[in-house]
Amino acid sequence: MAGSTALSEASISALTTRLEQENPEAIVRWAIETFGDGVSIGASFGGVTGMAILHMAATLKPDVHVFVLDTDYLFEETHETMRQAVSSLDLTNVQVYKSKLNHEVQAAKHGSALWMRNPDLCCEIRKVEPNRRALAGKTCWLSGLRRDQSEGRASVPIVEWNNKFGVLKVNPLANWTEAQTWDYVVKHEVPYNPLLNQGYTSIGCFNCTLPGVQGRAGRWAGFDKDECGLHTS
């Protein structure tokens, strides 16, 4: 099949209809066989969905491009999960992307604790812009969205064109439940973030993540916000 830029809206619709009937492992295999080195996986090393996708991909292509957005506010447990996963899954092409503004420069330019005043701007600086660099030149983005993660993700398709980053976005586990995802991770002994055993259900930056709150409501407390901007148009 040609690169994702050549896929029409009708082709994408047909693909998502066909792949809806496939299991996530088959979808990951299809993406890697179709787009090869054009595939990129965004790994947060926070949730179990991303860990399952990494395992599925690593068994097929250990050198698949994996990118990590290090916001400078990640939990130490997240860094440790990344180290363990890279080793245990034999991943050979993991690249870390950071904001062009370090903490001090951001504070000088936008004021201290930007995440408490304008979390959308903070996410734009520390996640969205680095994500754009990470996907530059890629054709297929494997993402860890599931429909049961939040109301806003309830209708996420298996395959969609992402205008923001100019790639075909594939959500292999979109129609899996949290329980199915955990079953896979436990069965295959995939490393996962230990904070998930300590009351956290959605793990992002330590300054914007609370334990004991279900789903993505544990992020950006006090704001009408449950997405960082990576998965919104």
Active site residues per annotation:
228
**Which amino acid would we find at residue 147?**
R
Q: How far apart are CA 175 and CA 136, in angstroms?
A: 28
- For tokens 């400078």, what's the residue? 72
With CA atoms as reference, report the closest residue to 57 among 33, 80, 81, 78. 33
Q: Enumerate residues 6+ apart whose C-beta is below 8 A from 73.
A: 115, 126, 205, 206, 207, 208
Q: From CA 143, how far away is CA 64, in angstroms rounded?
A: 14
Using the 8-state DSSP alphabet, how is residue 38 labeled?
G
Contact call for residues 140 and 37 (beta carbons, < 8 A): no
- Between CA 189 and CA 104 the distance in angstroms is 39
- Beta bridge partners, 94, equal 66
Closest of 68, 8, 30 to residue 158, by C-alpha: 30
Residue 85 CA to residue 185 CA, distance in Å, equals: 12
Find, among 215, 63, 69, 82, the residue nearest to 143 by Cα.
Answer: 69
